[in-house]
Structure 1
């Protein structure tokens, strides 16, 4: 005897729903976005972002209204070779991410560092203002 077709359809929907949930929780990457980790240490938030291939001057960080805005842009590769390209994927790239912080942070004490393609931003908790503040990367 053949099963109810609606039961099979419901099973397919359940499997699809599980796959979407796993993808969202497992770091589903949106093109042009930057993968980040945000850790609450109790005293500060530490944001770590992967930005391989960028220089410090290519990255802009801004903190405004409790949101950290990260934008990175690099120009097309300057390397030119004689001949015709068979494949060219290294063109101008941009990446961005906005991270809403759960609590206010002390904007004057925010620091950022960039090493080996990894950006680390430290945002001490407490305080905060309404103005936008650009963050220098060391």
Structure 2
């Protein structure tokens, strides 16, 4: 008996649906090239924590514009391998980005960021705002 090709499609859609549901219940889906983040509301401020192992502070750009925090990280490794030739080289360039829409306006002049042991922490005090973009220095 031949199998109906629509059964295969339906099974695939069910599988994708289950994966999406599992991703949502475990805290969200991780899209390749995006940075995994935690966003906490402490009452007075939003605290965004992002995993960025292997980057230097100079590799990371943070901007705040119209209630959206944009994080971009670019790293390029140009080192040669001293003990022979590469058979496979996947670690030369790494790019990651993330946009986080904040639920309330924040005080742009009070935003601070720190980077330690591959973890970026951005503190965004609530209240205030403005329509201009602000670049955020990482300490």
* TM-score > 0.5 by shorter chain: yes
Q: How far does residue 80 in structure 1 lie from its aligned partner after superposition? A: 2.8
- 1:132 and 2:138 equivalent? no
SS at match of 2:31: coil
Aligned-partner Cα distance in 2 for 1:53–1:15: 34
- 1:74 and 2:106 equivalent? no
Tell me which residue corresponds to 1:32.
33
Report the number of matched residues. 131
1:113-136 CA-to-partner distances (Å, cap 9, x unmatched) read 000000000000001000000000
Q: How far does residue 86 in structure 1 lie from its aligned partner after superposition? A: 2.1
1:64-86 CA-to-partner distances (Å, cap 9, x unmatched) read 00000000001124143242212
Aligned-partner Cα distance in 2 for 1:99–1:137: 17
Aligned-partner Cα distance in 2 for 1:96–1:34: 6
Q: Give 5+ residue unaligned stretches, structure 2.
A: 1-6
Q: Once superposed, what is the RMSD of the aligned Cα atoms?
A: 2.1
Q: Give 5+ residue unaligned stretches, structure 1.
A: 1-7
How high is the TM-score relative to the length of structure 2?
Answer: 0.85
Alignment map for 1:19-98 (pairs within 5 Å): 19-26=19-26, 27-98=28-99
Q: How far does residue 25 in structure 1 lie from its aligned partner after superposition? A: 3.7
SS at match of 2:103: coil
CA 1:21–1:128 in structure 2 vs 1: closer, same or farther (change >3 Å)?
Answer: same
Deviates more, 1:59-68 or 1:88-97: 88-97
How high is the TM-score relative to the length of structure 1?
Answer: 0.85
Aligned-partner Cα distance in 1 for 2:77–2:14: 44
